[in-house]
Amino acid sequence: MKLTTLTAATLVAFSSYAAMAEPVITVTDARAFETPPTAMSGGGFMHIKNDGDTDDRLIGITADFPKVELHTTEFTDGIAKMMHADGVTVPAGGMVALEPGGYHVMFMGLRGDPLEVGETIPATLVFEQSGEIEVRFDVVARTMEHSH
């Protein structure tokens, strides 16, 4: 009897600890730039905030395109090259910006159906800890400094 009580108390303590130690993810400014009619892909950008006390990691994204990938951008001799990224870590209490020239989402396989200003792209982000989070990317006009 004594043992049972102890076990129950331990379980309660453990689960309340587990409930506190988790990432709290908020996604803002999800947007994509309009693309020219012949573009095969378009970039998606956003800010991901983690108000929790545990790191989380964006490990995937799905949307209604033939292929969607996470990319990072590396500069070699001033030339930007996109690379596939396995994931993007969002540190506890921190924020990560997916911005032109850095991490971004690549919507691929547009095939003559460009991203147009005013459209929204529903997508599902997949986080290691937080699971799936639904977002909508607003398609906005491309600006000079945001070439990618």
Residues that bind Cu ion (CB under 5 A): 71, 82, 106
Residue nearer to Cu ion on the CB measure, 49 or 148: 148
CB-based closest residue to Cu ion: 71
What Å distances lie between residue 41 and 19, 51, 74, 129, CA to CA?
Answer: 40, 32, 18, 29
Distance linking the first and last C-alpha atoms of the chain: 66
Length of the chain: 148
> Nearest distance from residue 29's CB to Cu ion, in Å?
18
> Nearest distance from residue 34's CB to Cu ion, in Å?
16
Residue nearer to Cu ion on the CB measure, 82 or 126: 82
> Nearest distance from residue 26's CB to Cu ion, in Å?
24
DSSP alpha helices (H): ranges in 25-126? none
